[in-house]
Amino acid sequence: MKNLLFILLLVLMLAPALAQAQTRPNVVLIYADDIGYGDISSYGATAIKTPNIDRLAKAGLRFTDAHAAAATCTPSRYAMLTGQYAFRKEGTNVLPGDAAMVIEPGRATLATVFQRAGYSTGVVGKWHLGLGPKGGPDWNGEIKPSPRDIGFGYEFIMAATGDRVPTVYVENRRVVGLDPADPIRVAYDKKVGDWPTGKENPDQLKMRPSHGHDQTIVNGVSRIGYMTGGKSALWKDEDMADVFTGKAVKFIEQTKAKPFFLFFALHDPHVPRMPHPRFVGKSGMGARGDAILQADWCVGEVLAALDRLKLADNTLVIFTSDNGPVVDDGYKDDAVEKLGSHKPAGQFRGGKYSNFEGGTRVPFIVRWPKGIKPGESDALISQVDLLASFAKSFNQKLGDKDAPDSFNVLTALVGRSKTGRQDLIEQAGALSLRQGQWKYIEPNNKQKFARLTNTELGNDSIPQLYDLSADPGETRNLAKQHPDKTKELHERLQQIKQTARSRQ
C-alpha cells in the first residue's frame, strides 16, 4: 500500500514535467537570404507566386512590422544568434570567406538556449559568421571553432556566400569531399594558384559580373576572392538548393525522436543566382524571380517532410529573411531588365544596405498549429528577440551579459499579445530608432545613393523623422515639425549606444 502511494505520488509529480516535455515544439527557423517584404505573394506580390510560403502564412501568424537586425547579412545573423546588436561588436560587417569566427564559443546563443532545453540542434545552409581561429580556418584540416562550438550539434554549411570563395561545403568541421592530395588554398588579398579569373578570362564565364566579382572562376562564375585546389569538393551552384534541402530534411528525419531546433539558412535569392534548371525561366522575372521560386520550393520540401513524419502539428516553423531585397547585386543576371512592375520591398523605401524600412522590414511568419492561431500581427519585433523569447519559453534565466539587446516578446510571437517591443534599433550605414509609428534616422555624411546596387541608402546630413503610420514609404521628413519627438528618439538612441545593453 505504502509503495503504491509512493508510486502514485511520483507519477503525479512527474506528470507536469512529462506533459511539458511532450508539448515542447520542434523549431525550424527558415532564413532566406535577401528576400524582401514585397517578394512573397502572401505579402502582396502579384507578379510572383510563392505557394509554399503562402501555405505557411495561411496557417500561421503573419507579422507586418518584423525586422532583421541589420540591412546586410553578417550583422543581421550575428545579432539574431547572439541577441546583441551587431554595432556593439567590431568585425561584424559583411565578412570575406576566409574570416575567423566572430561569435566566441562560450557565450549564450540562440542555439545554446535550445541545447540547454534538451533539444537536438543543427544548422544547414549559409553561415557567413566566419570560421576557425584568428587568421581564419584550416580548410584542409579540422575547422574549429565552427557552429558546433556555439550550440549547434550538427552543421552542414557554406562558409560565407555563394559569391565568395571557397566554393565548398563544410560538414561537421570538414570540407566535404576533399581529396587530401589536392589541398585548398584561399586568399582575398592576392591571387593564389593559376585558376582563371573573371578579370583575365571573361570568355570562360556563364554569367558576367556587373560590379566586382571578377576574381577566381568556379563553375563558370567569377567570385570575390581567390582559390585553388579542392577540385573534388567544389559545389555546383545549380544543385545547392537541392543539397541544402536534402540535408535539412535528413536532419529532421534523424533527430525527430527528441525535440529539435533546425536553423535552415537558404542561399536564395542571393547572388550568384544560379537556380536549378527546373526553375529557370519559370518566374518570367529572370534569375532573381527564379531563385525566389526555388526558395519557395525549399520551404515546401521542409513542410512536406514535417507532414510525412507527422510532426507538423507540434513544430513551430518561422520563415523570415536576413535583410531586405536587392535587384542588381553584382552580376548581369537579367534581374533588372525583367523586374517589370514588381516591388521587392513592397510599399517600403530602400532595400538591402538601406536605412529606410526596406532594409530591415522583412516577411516574418510563425506557424505552430498546436500553439498559435492563424492571423496577422503588427507587433514590432526583431529577429534579435528570438533568443530571449525562446529562453523565456523554457523558463531559462539569462545572465547579465547574455543577449543584451534581445527582448522577451514571446506573447507577441505566439499571438497572445499584439504588443512587441517599445523601441528597436535598425542597423544599416547609420543607425535608426523605431518607436511605435515613429522612425528616426541618425544624421551622417555617407553617400545617399549606392550606384552599384541602385539603392537609396537613406543617409542624410540632417536628422530624419518619419511617421510610418501615415507615410510608410518615408517620403516626408518631419524632423523640423516635431523637434521634441526627434530629440527624444535621438536621446534614446544615444542612451542605447552608450550602455552595454538595452534589455531590462
Residues contributing to the site for ligand NG6 (CB under 6 A): 33-34, 72-73, 94, 128, 161, 163, 211-213, 224, 270-271, 323, 329-330, 452
Q: Smallest gap, in angstroms, from Cβ of residue 418 to Ca ion? A: 29
User: Measured at CB, which residue is nearest to Ca ion?
Assistant: 73
Sheet strands side by side (includes 61-63):
174-175, 169-171, 154-158, 120-126, 260-265, 26-32, 315-321, 364-367, 61-63, 375-377
Cell numbers placing 209: 559580373
Q: Distance (Å, rounded) from C-alpha 423 to C-alpha 440? A: 11
C-beta closer to ligand NG6: residue 150 or 450: 450
Q: Smallest gap, in angstroms, from Cβ of residue 326 to ligand NG6? A: 8
Choose the one of Ca ion, ligand NG6, none that binds residue 243, judging by a C-beta under 5 to 8 angstroms depending on kind: none
Residue reference for cell 575547422: 143
Q: What values do phi and psi take at 122, rounded to 5?
A: -155, 155
Q: Distance (Å, rounded) from C-alpha 175 to C-alpha 177? A: 6
Choose the one of Ca ion, ligand NG6, none that binds residue 94, judging by a C-beta under 5 to 8 angstroms depending on kind: ligand NG6
Q: Smallest gap, in angstroms, from Cβ of residue 342 to ligand NG6? A: 20
Contact set for Ca ion, span 15-34 (CB under 5 A): 33-34
Question: Could you say whether residue 322 binds Ca ion (CB under 5 A)?
Answer: yes
Q: Smallest gap, in angstroms, from Cβ of residue 35 to Ca ion? A: 9
C-beta closer to ligand NG6: residue 210 or 444: 210
- DSSP letter at 332 equals -
Q: Distance (Å, rounded) from C-alpha 106 to C-alpha 109? A: 9
Q: Smallest gap, in angstroms, from Cβ of residue 36 to ligand NG6? A: 12
C-beta closer to ligand NG6: residue 34 or 474: 34
Q: Distance (Å, rounded) from C-alpha 423 to C-alpha 67? A: 12
C-beta closer to Ca ion: residue 162 or 259: 162
C-beta closer to ligand NG6: residue 112 or 323: 323
Q: Smallest gap, in angstroms, from Cβ of residue 323 to Ca ion? A: 5
Question: Are the beta carbons of 229 and 193 closer than 8 angstroms?
Answer: yes
Choose the one of Ca ion, ligand NG6, none that binds residue 132, judging by a C-beta under 5 to 8 angstroms depending on kind: none
Determine the 3-state secondary structure of 288 from DSSP. helix
Q: Distance (Å, rounded) from C-alpha 203 to C-alpha 391? A: 53
Q: Smallest gap, in angstroms, from Cβ of residue 106 to ligand NG6? A: 26
Which listed residue (56, 73, 117, 170) binds Ca ion by CB under 5 A?
73
Contact set for Ca ion, span 224-283 (CB under 5 A): none
Choose the one of ligand NG6, Ca ion, none that binds residue 67, judging by a C-beta under 5 to 8 angstroms depending on kind: none
Q: Distance (Å, rounded) from C-alpha 299 to C-alpha 270? A: 16
Choose the one of ligand NG6, Ca ion, none that binds residue 224, judging by a C-beta under 5 to 8 angstroms depending on kind: ligand NG6
Regarding beta strands 185-187 and 226-228, do their DSSP bridges make them parallel or antiparallel, or are they unpaired? Answer: antiparallel
Q: Smallest gap, in angstroms, from Cβ of residue 32 to Ca ion? A: 8
C-beta closer to ligand NG6: residue 283 or 323: 323
C-beta closer to ligand NG6: residue 408 or 453: 453
Determine the 3-state secondary structure of 18 from DSSP. helix
Q: Distance (Å, rounded) from C-alpha 245 to C-alpha 240? A: 8
Q: Distance (Å, rounded) from C-alpha 201 to C-alpha 198? A: 5
Q: Distance (Å, rounded) from C-alpha 357 to C-alpha 497? A: 20
Q: How far is CA 91 from CA 21, 85, 87, 445, 482, in A?
A: 39, 13, 9, 21, 36
Question: Could you say whether residue 74 binds Ca ion (CB under 5 A)?
Answer: no
β-pair partners for 197: 216
Choose the one of ligand NG6, Ca ion, none that binds residue 268, judging by a C-beta under 5 to 8 angstroms depending on kind: none
Which listed residue (52, 216, 283, 323) binds Ca ion by CB under 5 A?
323
C-beta closer to Ca ion: residue 34 or 54: 34
Q: Smallest gap, in angstroms, from Cβ of residue 322 to Ca ion? A: 4
3-state secondary structure 444-498: CCCCCEECCCCEECCCCCCCEEEECCCCCCCCCCCCCCCHHHHHHHHHHHHHHHH
Q: Distance (Å, rounded) from C-alpha 106 to C-alpha 253? A: 29
C-beta closer to Ca ion: residue 25 or 324: 324
Give the range of 66-74, 87-95, 174-182, 496-504 binding Ca ion by CB under 5 A.
Answer: 66-74
C-beta closer to Ca ion: residue 73 or 221: 73
Choose the one of ligand NG6, Ca ion, none that binds residue 223, judging by a C-beta under 5 to 8 angstroms depending on kind: none
The 374-403 site mask, x for binding Ca ion (CB under 5 A), equals ------------------------------
Q: Please work out the total of residues on this chain that contact Ca ion, with binding judged by CB under 5 A.
A: 5
Q: How large is the angle between the packed helices 240-255 and 286-308, nearest 10 degrees?
A: 20
Binding site for Ca ion (CB under 5 A): 33-34, 73, 322-323
